[in-house]
Amino acid sequence: GIALEEDSARKISSKEGKKIYNLDRLGIPLVEITTKPDLKTPEQIKEAALKIGEILRACNVKRGIGTIRQDLNISIRGNKRIEIKGFQDPKMMIKTIDEEISRQKKNPGEKG
């Protein structure tokens, strides 16, 4: 699916019951592209990310450091879904996904 959104404030610290937010990206337009949860292996996920990047390049979407970020949701049945935010380099996906899958397998039923 495709959704149009705006970037929001991001929490940069939380100390002594006080939260501090940075507003530098507030209101910046975003396009969110989502896939169905049918990607089953780290290799499939990397391949999908590269294909989406290829399509965006073909459409002349503005690219540069920080302009394209990818979030991954990883879950193993019985465990809580974990979101890993902010991938900029698909080459790091396979290792990171493998490590998260391994962590979840070692801790069955863990809720986060």
| Averaged pLDDT, 65-85 | 83
* Rounded (10°) angle between helices 42-58 and 93-106: 150
How far apart, in whole angstroms, are the C-alpha atoms of residue 110 and residue 95?
21
What's the pLDDT at 65? 60
| Averaged pLDDT, 95-108 | 89
Q: How many domains does the chain have?
A: 2
List the single range of 5-14, 56-65, 89-98 with lowest mean pLDDT: 56-65
Are both 19 and 61 inside the same structural domain? no
> What domain range is 85 assigned to?
38-112
Confidence of residue 66 (pLDDT cuts 50, 70, 90): low
Question: Is pLDDT larger for residue 109 or for residue 49?
Answer: 49
Are both 30 and 49 inside the same structural domain? no
| Averaged pLDDT, 37-43 | 88
C-alpha distances (whole Å) from 108 to each of 18, 19, 30, 62 are 34, 32, 35, 41
Provide the mean pLDDT of the chain: 86
- Contact assessment for residue 80 and residue 110, using Cβ atoms and an 8 Å cutoff: yes
What's the pLDDT at 98? 92
Are both 75 and 103 inside the same structural domain? yes
Are both 90 and 66 inside the same structural domain? yes
What's the pLDDT at 112? 53
**What token pair was written down for 80?**
């809580």
pLDDT at residue 67 is higher than 80: no
Q: What is the pTM of this model?
A: 0.70
